[in-house]
Chain A
Amino acid sequence: MRTRAFVMAIVATLAAAACGSSGGSTASSAGSTPANPCAKSNLTLVTPGQLTIGTDNPAFDPYFQGPTGHEWTGQFNHDPYNDQGFEDATAYAVAQQLGFSKDQVNWVAVPFNNSYKPGPKNFDFYLAQVSYSSKRAQGADLSDSYYDVQQAVVALQGKPISSVTTVAGLKPYRFGTQIGTTSYDLINSVIQPSQSTQVYDTSNAALQALKNGQIDGLVTDFPTAYYMANVQLSNGTVVGILPGAGSGPKEHFSLVLQKGSALTQCVNGALSALRADGTLAQIQDRWLNQAAHAPELQ
């Protein structure tokens, strides 16, 4: 397999050199340039010839949409093979950019903390609303942004917190979030609430705590917040969007790859091409409700 890929790479290089020489000026550089490491045949993949993408199970709205299927079953779950929803469509767009057709994409269900545990991985890249941080980048390769994300506060209509318009006004309330999220850091660094923050295993448990009144506000990324307030809760509301922590770069979602993976520069290349030709913006327009907006908390 490897030999054949090598031979093909040589053939490709020679062909390029041949074309180049007839074309003129670019000939000299083509001969010395090594084969494109991001060419489909040169990628080191979990399953050769197939792109294996990992995501969490359940795969939630609005990042994954459409019917359930494969391993992704149960309420509020969606089959990633649907190619529907923001992250689902982004993943397929990256795959296509790398040269994979739709039927060459396989999905595996990977719990979040398995995406960065040491040792061999069962996916080529993983995406499930993972926010970038420099600390995290020490444990796994994190791609460039595919979505610049803001965090928002979800609450129940009619509760005192729902009429708050400033960050300072949020201080006296009790907040909750899902474990493993940057939302937790944001609660502690930006809101600095006077009551201890609650942290749940799943977003459903956090929603239940919100309904129970065990927490006043739930902090999560804005698309999820909008979905929770308008679909999952019958009387929910997005109180507002939180400003980021400090003046640092904006928070963004990254694809997760094996630490030191050769594929990282290739997905970064694919993402930058998709951004440049407007594909990422189109996907965002289509799957993240652009009409959805909420006040910014000052």
Chain B
Amino acid sequence: MATALISTVVVFTAIGLAIVTAPGWPAVHEAFLNGKVFRASFPDIARAFKLNVKIFLVAEAVILVFALGIAMLRSLPGPVFFPIRAIAIIYTDVFRGIPTILVVTLLALGVPSLGLSGVPISAVFWATVGLILIYSAYVAEVYRAGIESVHPSQEAAARSLGLSRWQTLRYVIVPQAVRRVIPPLLNDFIGLQKDTALVAFAGPVEALRQAGIDEAANFNFTPYVCTAVLFLVLTIPLTRTTDWLIARDRRKRAASGVT
């Protein structure tokens, strides 16, 4: 314990000194860690940050359901369901393969230019759809890993009790699968929380965009540090919870002797 403490203090003091004694430190301190600019820009950025939280909450709710649907479709066995599996595979391949920022920008500026009546033109709406499409592809794969981790004997037992394939998936496989994948699911949601900043590229003034506005108004980069702090406040509780869940899960499995 004492060793850990001493080594921690030594390491952090060394890093701190290296930064503070760097020749460019006064300029960096002035341009990135300016207390006056921080205080002036914080209220605006905090207000804009509400939009990030809103987008995150809506997207997360939709993703949880939508991605599970994709994973279940992809887990349907038998040659009859091949076209459905193929669609699910193409979907996850495509949306995991395109940079998020491209999907967000293309949807938010592209779809409204189609001029279809009845289709929303809101940039926030389409940017959120972009995040949902991307993250559902990741989350669907997490779900699928969970579904495949359930031993085949479970399915055989359920089928022998007379449950249909769908019922087996719905009542036997998925409940076990979801419990197992909660830690990696939360991991993806931490990513989603951060990626709400990409909505900025479609025009809405959320935290990152507000920081960019304040940066250009002051010729000072401190507003970005301000935004980083706000994101940390949002994501750290979730990252800590995730780690705790993973540790608890490991303890449980070690105790019961099940692997």
Q: Are A214 and B31 in contact (CB under 8 A)?
A: no
**Contacts A209-B109, A214-B112 given; does A179 touch B218 at CB 8 Å:** no
Q: Considering only CB atoms, which chain B residue lies closest to A139 in the complex? A: B219
- Which chain B positions have C-beta within 8 A of A176? 203
Q: Report Cα–Cα, A264/B8, bound state, in Å.
A: 47
- Which chain B positions have C-beta within 8 A of A119? 24, 27
Q: Considering only CB atoms, which chain A residue lies closest to B24 in the complex? A: A119
Q: Report Cα–Cα, A175/B243, bound state, in Å.
A: 44
Q: Considering only CB atoms, which chain B residue lies closest to A182 in the complex? A: B217
User: Chain A 198-214 against B: per-residue CB contact (8 Å), 1 yes, 0 no?
Assistant: 11110001101101111
Q: Report Cα–Cα, A119/B25, bound state, in Å.
A: 10
Q: Report Cα–Cα, A135/B109, bound state, in Å.
A: 33
Nearest-neighbour CB distance to chain B for A273, whole angstroms, equals: 27
- Which chain B positions have C-beta within 8 A of A213? 112, 121
Q: Are A180 and B218 in contact (CB under 8 A)?
A: no
Q: Are A136 and B123 in contact (CB under 8 A)?
A: no
The contact of B112 among A113, A118, A212, by CB within 8 Å, is A212
Nearest-neighbour CB distance to chain A for B147, whole angstroms, equals: 40
Nearest-neighbour CB distance to chain B for A271, whole angstroms, equals: 20
Q: Are A197 and B205 in contact (CB under 8 A)?
A: yes
**Contacts A176-B203, A179-B209, A213-B121 given; does A208 touch B216 at CB 8 Å:** no
Of A209, A213, A214, chain B has the most CB atoms within 10 Å of the CB of A214
Q: Are A138 and B219 in contact (CB under 8 A)?
A: yes
Q: Are B121 and A199 in contact (CB under 8 A)?
A: no
Q: A112 at interface (Cβ–Cβ under 8 A)?
A: yes
The contact of A136 among B205, B218, B221, by CB within 8 Å, is B218
Q: A181 at interface (Cβ–Cβ under 8 A)?
A: yes
The size class of the interface chain B forms with chain A is: 20 to 34
**Contacts A117-B221, A205-B203 given; does A212 touch B216 at CB 8 Å:** no
Q: Report Cα–Cα, A117/B27, bound state, in Å.
A: 9
**Contacts A118-B30, A199-B205 given; does A179 touch B213 at CB 8 Å:** yes
Q: Are A208 and B109 in contact (CB under 8 A)?
A: yes
Q: Considering only CB atoms, which chain A residue lies closest to B27 in the complex? A: A118
Q: Report Cα–Cα, A4/B212, bound state, in Å.
A: 45
- Which chain A positions have C-beta within 8 A of B209? 179, 199
Q: Considering only CB atoms, which chain A residue lies closest to B36 in the complex? A: A138
The contact of B121 among A140, A181, A206, A214, by CB within 8 Å, is A214
Q: A173 at interface (Cβ–Cβ under 8 A)?
A: no
Q: B215 at interface (Cβ–Cβ under 8 A)?
A: yes
Q: B28 at interface (Cβ–Cβ under 8 A)?
A: yes
**Contacts A179-B213, A199-B205, A212-B109 given; does A140 touch B219 at CB 8 Å:** yes
Q: Considering only CB atoms, which chain B residue lies closest to A118 in the complex? A: B27
Q: Are A214 and B203 in contact (CB under 8 A)?
A: yes
Of B112, B204, B205, B213, chain A has the most CB atoms within 10 Å of the CB of B213
Q: Are A212 and B203 in contact (CB under 8 A)?
A: no
Q: B113 at interface (Cβ–Cβ under 8 A)?
A: yes
- Which chain B positions have C-beta within 8 A of A201? 201
Q: What are 25 contact pairs spanning A and B, CB under 8 A?
A: A113-B216, A117-B221, A118-B31, A119-B27, A135-B219, A136-B217, A136-B218, A137-B219, A138-B218, A138-B219, A140-B219, A179-B212, A179-B213, A179-B216, A180-B212, A180-B213, A181-B216, A185-B217, A198-B204, A199-B200, A199-B209, A201-B201, A205-B109, A212-B112, A214-B203
Q: A135-B218, A213-B121 are in contact. List 8 more A-B contacts (CB 8 A).
A: A118-B27, A133-B217, A136-B219, A139-B220, A176-B203, A199-B203, A205-B105, A212-B112
